[in-house]
Structure 1
Amino acid sequence: MSSNDLEKEVGIPAAAEAAVDDFEPDPTTIPIWSKNLVLAILCSMCIGLAGQMLNPTLPLYTVEIGFPEQMAGIMLTAFSIGSLLFRPIAGQLVDYIGRRKMVLCGSLLVAFSFLLYLMSTNFYMILCVRVMQGIGFCLTNTGIGTVASDIIPKARITEGIGYYALAGAISMTVGPAVGLELKNMFSMRGDFIGGLLLASICIVASRFISYEEKLKTRKPGEKIKISLFEKTSLLPASMIFTATVAQTSLTAYLALYGRSIGLEGVSSFFLFTSVGTICARAFAGKVTYRLGEKKVLWAAVLVTTCCFFAVSFAKTMPVLIAIAIVYGFGYGVLYPVTNAMSIRNAIPENRGAANATYSASFDLGTIVGGSVWGIVVANLNYPWMYRLAAVLTLFIIPLTLIYQRKFVEWR
């Protein structure tokens, strides 16, 4: 039937018929919340809290049992190295064997590591347990992150990742304080038992996640092929790597910078950063849908760049706190947008590798940043370190242009 015949017979203009055919539903009407997403967020928060509790307390414990302060910092590095080296393997295991199985295996490994801490008194034994714990966290985070990317509707992936990432932001805010409080009340046994309980909650919660996983298939006897990275995720991973290297100038050196200019209470900077991050991630997805990822990402990059410059001139705590909140907003938007970009173009069977590639950029950025900024401070000073961090952050913008040329539909 022609368009004119259709118009005569039923009274619908041809233009209106075409408009109906081309109609696309509003993505914001697609349901995003489900039992599986809530359980994934719960698992991420529990395992994140278990890890963050040890960051301020384990170095103290190392010194308390008789080892020099120089060895205390190795505990944090050992965790990152264990996690980074296992990322490529974790991504393939998640894609071939299953997301939920790897979450369970990783959570069991983390729980077992807390049991070993309770029996460890030798530095090298604690160090080995720390590396093992890094592997356990790597498996759990890669698995649960892939679960989240599987169950969030693709049309609302940025918003969904923003909600999922709230678990990480909350654990980063609450975890260190909880860890220190437990240590003060019950000694390190309180931290180890608390971490064991949190890992156990993750184990139980992961058993109630249920959906059909799309996994890679292999022929009988065929070995799992280990790929170091997922190609479609390299550019977004490079963006967050750049942001993480810059951010390390704050996490590793801001306290020393504050001491050098006579500021006390600089640690509150990170509390207010987390407040800004939590607020930003609560609405980042909806703003991104309205304005487009490129505009929102560029705005976040420019905001964080200005914050690094501002830190280099800050001399009072009120100024630093104001910078912290604004920086939290910028970084809180940057993470879910780049994370969504890293997942979107990977086929479902490769989402584990995509998540592993993206997560590895954090580990690598932390290791590289800690070393590079130490050299910068030794040869220049703290203000110049933050100015260079600002310049480095701007390099994310050309990376977005390369990404847009590769994926022309991105806006």
Structure 2
Amino acid sequence: MSEKKALWTKDFVILALSNFMLFVAFQMLLPTLPVYVTDMGGDQLAVGLVISLFTVSALLVRPFAGKALDTIGRKPVLLLGLAIFLLAVAGYYWMVSVALVLAIRFLHGIGWGIVTTTYGTIVSDIIPRERSGEGMGYFGMFSNLAMGFGPLLGLWVSQNWGYGWLFAISAGLTALAMILSRLVKFKPIVPAKKQQGSVLSGLLEKAALFPSLLNLLIGIIYGGIVSFITLFGIEVGIVNIGLFFLFNAIALMAVRPLAGKLFDRKGPVWILLPGGVILGGGLLMLSYSTTEWQMILAAILFGIGVGGVQPSLQAWTIKRVDPTRRGAATGTFFSAFDLGIGGGAMILGAIAKMTSFAVMYRYSLVALGLYLLIYLIYLARQGKKTAMSESISS
């Protein structure tokens, strides 16, 4: 048996730390920017635009970022994205009106779309192919750690030191991410062949479309969680709704490496089906939660499901494409997730308005049902044995 290739290389660790710094900088602003806009005199519409404008700009830029990664190269695209992100974060404090804050929020989304697409592509270059699931799991674990730490840090800084320090620290962390990223030795790439046709050709990777479709359906469910969980807590009388994010992040961190190793050894079907069922159990549990302990259990189940499914889908996506198209594939994958979050927030928000947030979460199980049905149809058409061994075949 050949010796297993190293995963925890210097470049992998540096890139993971750089990604962690960026995610903390981003997560610090998630719970604080809506309050900042409100303090400036913004209404509920303005607060909603803080989320939607960011998502839209990230969604629009990802396919172009992916194509640039495959034609221009990884390093210049990453540095450009980090520079835009840094400019936006530092600029929030100097915006004198809600309209200007929203404008720079759009720019912020462009930077975020570029850097997250680029990080996902670069790490897929670094991780050994036979350990792609495990590597993606560990890499995502750093993002999950930031999800648990960043919002708490952002709230503490804004409440105790003010918004000036909030934006300064977030900008400082982004600058650290940029410095660390320059220490990574980028592997030379073979430029992708130019696609004939318009400038829009080649933006999406066809081989990535199927796992991206499944990711879109997961994004719809996730959009309902991140957009409405606080309002759900108010509706059912759960005061400390922040516990959901804490235990969800813990579950995500715990399951990612284990799910990644199982993906590498057994294939995607061993993660995507049971992970989807567990995710559905957490969602159903959440919809009936009226106490903190019920919500915590729901958060753990949801975290186990998402923590297994999404990195496995990402690793599966990378394995399906040619190395020269990894940028386009990563852009396609994350664009689908963004589209799911944005579309899910709108559709589920309309359902909640007509019913309740608890009922809304039960309706979101329809997206999960489609996810399982589509994947089962795929297994039936491809043959279970082929699908199970696809991720470990060369």
TM-score by length of 2: 0.92
- With over 3 angstroms needed to count, the CA separation of the structure-2 counterparts of 1:70 and 1:211, relative to structure 1, is closer
Give the equivalent residue in structure 2 for 1:7: none
Distance 2:231 2:92 in 1: 30
Find the partner of 1:235 among 187, 205, 210: 210
Give the equivalent residue in structure 2 for 1:380: 355
Find the partner of 1:276 among 251, 257, 261: 251
Q: 1:330 offset after TM fit, Å?
A: 1.3
Give the equivalent residue in structure 2 for 1:302: 277
Give the equivalent residue in structure 1 for 2:157: 182
Give the equivalent residue in structure 1 for 2:12: 37
- With over 3 angstroms needed to count, the CA separation of the structure-2 counterparts of 1:216 and 1:398, relative to structure 1, is farther
Distance 1:223 1:371 in 2: 32
Structure 1: stretches of 5+ with no match in the other structure: 1-23
Give the equivalent residue in structure 2 for 1:13: none
Q: Give yes or no for the alignment of 1:109 onto 2:84.
A: yes
Q: CA RMSD in A?
A: 2.0
CA deviation string 1:252-301 (max 9, x = no partner): 22222222222211221111111101100132122333443202211100
Find the partner of 2:303 among 328, 353, 358: 328
Moved more, 244-253 or 358-367: 244-253
- With over 3 angstroms needed to count, the CA separation of the structure-2 counterparts of 1:215 and 1:112, relative to structure 1, is farther
Distance 2:193 2:290 in 1: 60
Q: Give yes or no for the alignment of 1:152 onto 2:151.
A: no
Find the partner of 2:320 among 333, 345, 349: 345
Q: Residues 7 and 127 of structure 2 are in contact (CA less than 8 Å); yes or no, is this contact kept in structure 1?
A: yes
- With over 3 angstroms needed to count, the CA separation of the structure-2 counterparts of 1:315 and 1:96, relative to structure 1, is same
Distance 2:382 2:85 in 1: 39
Find the partner of 1:247 among 222, 231, 248: 222
Identity, % of aligned positions: 28
Structure 2: stretches of 5+ with no match in the other structure: 389-394
Q: Secondary structure at the match of 2:32?
A: helix
Q: Residues 192 and 325 of structure 2 are in contact (CA less than 8 Å); yes or no, is this contact kept in structure 1?
A: no
Distance 2:288 2:77 in 1: 46
Distance 1:332 1:243 in 2: 11
TM-score by length of 1: 0.88
Find the partner of 2:106 among 128, 131, 151: 131
Q: Secondary structure at the match of 1:213?
A: coil
CA deviation string 1:15-63 (max 9, x = no partner): xxxxxxxxx647xx22211111112111211111111111111111111
Q: 1:211 offset after TM fit, Å?
A: 3.5
Q: 1:68 offset after TM fit, Å?
A: 2.4
Give the equivalent residue in structure 1 for 2:392: none
Q: Residues 302 and 394 of structure 1 are in contact (CA less than 8 Å); yes or no, is this contact kept in structure 2?
A: no
Q: Give yes or no for the alignment of 1:61 onto 2:32.
A: no
- With over 3 angstroms needed to count, the CA separation of the structure-2 counterparts of 1:383 and 1:118, relative to structure 1, is closer
Q: Residues 137 and 256 of structure 2 are in contact (CA less than 8 Å); yes or no, is this contact kept in structure 1?
A: yes
Structure 1 or 2, whichever has the larger Rg, is 1
Q: 1:394 offset after TM fit, Å?
A: 2.5
Q: Residues 98 and 215 of structure 1 are in contact (CA less than 8 Å); yes or no, is this contact kept in structure 2?
A: no
Q: 1:186 offset after TM fit, Å?
A: 1.9
Q: How many residue pairs get matched?
A: 384
